[in-house]
C-alpha cells in the first residue's frame, strides 16, 4: 500500500509542473502577442494600401501607448480604391474604446529606420466613439523604401561631390589655378612678408610722430586746436543763448520776428497786387498787350530781316548788292586820292579869280 501511495504523489507533482508550464507558456504568448490579455477586448477594422513587413500580432498603439495587436491581415475583395487594398482586423483593449473616435486615423509606422512595423492610432478628441467592428479611417504614411531610396540617392550625390572636392584639393596642392598659386607660390608669401614689414615700419614712424599722419596721431596740437574750437563754439552758443550779437537777437528778440513777419506780409500783399494786375509789374504779368506788341515787333523784325536777305529794297541792296560795295570802295579811293592831291597842292584847289564888269 505504501508503494502505491508514493507513485500517485509523483504523478501528481509531474502533472502540477506540466500545468504550471502550460500556464506560464500561455501567459508568455499573450504577453508577446497582446497587451493586457486579462482585460476585455473588442475588434476594429481599418484599410491600408500596403502592409509590407507588417506581421500578425504586431503591436497597435494609441499615441505611442500599446493598446492591442493586429489580429489578421487579408486582401480586401473588390476594393473601392487602392486605399482599401488591405483589410486589417485590430484587437483592442476595451478600456480605450472611448479614446478612439471618428476623428482618429490608423497608419503604419516603422520603428527606427529599418525596424519592425506596427499600427499607430491617433487619439480622437472630437466625433463619435467607433463601436465594435467599426472602421477606423486609414492614413497612408511616407513609404520607408522611398525614403531609403532617396537617402541612397543623397549618399551617391555626396560621393560624387566628395570626389569633385578631392580633385579640386589635389589641383590646389599641385599649385594649379588661382587658389593653388596663392597657397603654394612662395613669391606671394615674400610679397606679403615685405608688405607686412613696410606696414610695420609705417606704424613705427606714426608712433614716433613722423610725417603728417604721425603728427595727427602723436601730437597734441590737433587736439588742442579742436578743444579750442569747441570752446569757442561753446562761447558762441552761450552768447546766442544770452541774446548777444545779431544771431542772438534774431533768435530771441521778438522785434526781429515782427519785422520779418511784416516784410512777409508786405511781400504777400505785393504778390496779391501783382496777381490782380495792379501797377507796372502787375500789368507786365497779367496784361497780354505787351506780349502781343512784342510778338508783332518780332514778326516785323523777322520780315525786315527776310527782305534784307532777299535783296529787296534799298537796305536789302545795301547789304547784299556787291555793286554797291564796289562803288563805295571806288568812291573811298577817289576821296583818298583827292585828299592826297589837296595836301600836296592846296593852291590848286583854292585859286580865286576876281573879274570886274
Residue 32 confidence (pLDDT): 54
Residue 176 confidence (pLDDT): 76
H/E stretch holding 168: helix 144-173
Q: What is the 3-state secondary structure (H, E, C) of 12-31?
A: HHHHHHHHHHHHHHHHHHHH
Residue 314 confidence (pLDDT): 67
For the chain, which residues make up each domain, given as ranges? 34-144, 156-219
Residue 1 confidence (pLDDT): 44
Angle at 244 between CA 238 and CA 248, to 5 degrees: 80
Cell of 222: 590737433
Phi, psi of 102 (to 5 degrees): -65, -20
pLDDT in tens, the chain (357 residues): 445 545 566 766 777 778 888 888 776 666 555 445 557 899 999 999 988 888 999 999 999 899 999 999 999 998 888 889 999 999 999 999 999 999 999 999 888 656 789 999 999 888 999 999 999 999 876 554 555 566 667 777 888 888 888 888 888 787 777 787 777 777 777 888 888 888 888 888 777 777 777 777 777 777 777 778 888 888 888 877 787 777 777 777 777 777 787 888 888 888 887 778 777 777 777 777 777 777 788 778 877 777 767 666 666 666 666 777 777 788 888 888 878 777 777 766 666 555 554
Instruction: Extract the runs of DSSP E, i.e. beta strands, from the chain.
Output: 41-48, 59-62, 65-75, 86-93, 106-110, 117-121, 135-136
Residue 291 confidence (pLDDT): 73
Task: Please state the length of the chain.
Answer: 357
Q: What is the 3-state secondary structure (H, E, C) of 145-166?
A: HHHHHHHHHHHHHHHHHHHHHH
Strand partners, 206: none
Q: What is the 3-state secondary structure (H, E, C) of 115-137?
A: CCEEEEECCCCCCCECCCCCEEC
Residue 38 confidence (pLDDT): 58
- Spatial neighbors of 294 by CB under 8 A, at least 6 apart, are none
pTM: predicted TM-score of the whole model, two decimal places: 0.36
Question: How far is the C-alpha of 281 from the C-alpha of 274, rounded, in Å?
Answer: 6
Dihedral sign for Cα atoms in the order 260, 266, 269, 270: negative
Cell of 35: 497587451
In Å, what is the CA distance from 78 to each residue of 25, 51, 52, 89, 107?
Answer: 40, 17, 20, 17, 21
Orientation angle between helical segments 211-218 and 186-207, nearest 10 degrees: 50
Cell of 179: 587658389
Please name which of 123, 53, 129, 128 lies closest in space to residue 86, comparing C-alpha atoms. Answer: 53
Instruction: Return the exposure string of 52-89: e unless at least 16 CB atoms fall within 10 Å of the residue's CB, then b.
Output: eebeeebbbbbeeeebbbbbeeeeeeeeeeeebbbbbe
DSSP 3-state of 188: helix
Amino acid at each position: 500500500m505504501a508503494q502505491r501511495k508514493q507513485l500517485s504523489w509523483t504523478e501528481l507533482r509531474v502533472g502540477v509542473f506540466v500545468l504550471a508550464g502550460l500556464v506560464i507558456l500561455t501567459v508568455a504568448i499573450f504577453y508577446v502577442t497582446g497587451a493586457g490579455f486579462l482585460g476585455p477586448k473588442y475588434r476594429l477594422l481599418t484599410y491600408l494600401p500596403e502592409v509590407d513587413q507588417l506581421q500578425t500580432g504586431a503591436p497597435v498603439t494609441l499615441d505611442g501607448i500599446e493598446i492591442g495587436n493586429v489580429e489578421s491581415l487579408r486582401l480586401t475583395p473588390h476594393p473601392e480604391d487602392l486605399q482599401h487594398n488591405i483589410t486589417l482586423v485590430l484587437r483592442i483593449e476595451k478600456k480605450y474604446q472611448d479614446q478612439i473616435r471618428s476623428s482618429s486615423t490608423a497608419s503604419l509606422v516603422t520603428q527606427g529606420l529599418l525596424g519592425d512595423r506596427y499600427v499607430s492610432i491617433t487619439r480622437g478628441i472630437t466625433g463619435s466613439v467607433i463601436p465594435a467592428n467599426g472602421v477606423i479611417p486609414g492614413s497612408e504614411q511616407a513609404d520607408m523604401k522611398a525614403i531609403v531610396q532617396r537617402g541612397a540617392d543623397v549618399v551617391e550625390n555626396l560621393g560624387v561631390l566628395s570626389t569633385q572636392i578631392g580633385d579640386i584639393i589635389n589641383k590646389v596642392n599641385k599649385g594649379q589655378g588661382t587658389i593653388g598659386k596663392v597657397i603654394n607660390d612662395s613669391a606671394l608669401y615674400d610679397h606679403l612678408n615685405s608688405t607686412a614689414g613696410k606696414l610695420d615700419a609705417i606704424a613705427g614712424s606714426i608712433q614716433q610722430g613722423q610725417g603728417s599722419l604721425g603728427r595727427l596721431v602723436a601730437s597734441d596740437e590737433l587736439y588742442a586746436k579742436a578743444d579750442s574750437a569747441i570752446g569757442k563754439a561753446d562761447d558762441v552758443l552761450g552768447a546766442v543763448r544770452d541774446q548777444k550779437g545779431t544771431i542772438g537777437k534774431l533768435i530771441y528778440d521778438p522785434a526781429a520776428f515782427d519785422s520779418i513777419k511784416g516784410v512777409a506780409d508786405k511781400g504777400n500783399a505785393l504778390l496779391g497786387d501783382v496777381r490782380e494786375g495792379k501797377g507796372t509789374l502787375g500789368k507786365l504779368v497779367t496784361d497780354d498787350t505787351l506780349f502781343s506788341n512784342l510778338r508783332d515787333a518780332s514778326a516785323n523784325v523777322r520780315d525786315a530781316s527776310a527782305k534784307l536777305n532777299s535783296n529787296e529794297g534799298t537796305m536789302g541792296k545795301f547789304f547784299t548788292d556787291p555793286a554797291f560795295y564796289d562803288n563805295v570802295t571806288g568812291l573811298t579811293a577817289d576821296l583818298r586820292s583827292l585828299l592826297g592831291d589837296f595836301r600836296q597842292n592846296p593852291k590848286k584847289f583854292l585859286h580865286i579869280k576876281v573879274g570886274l564888269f
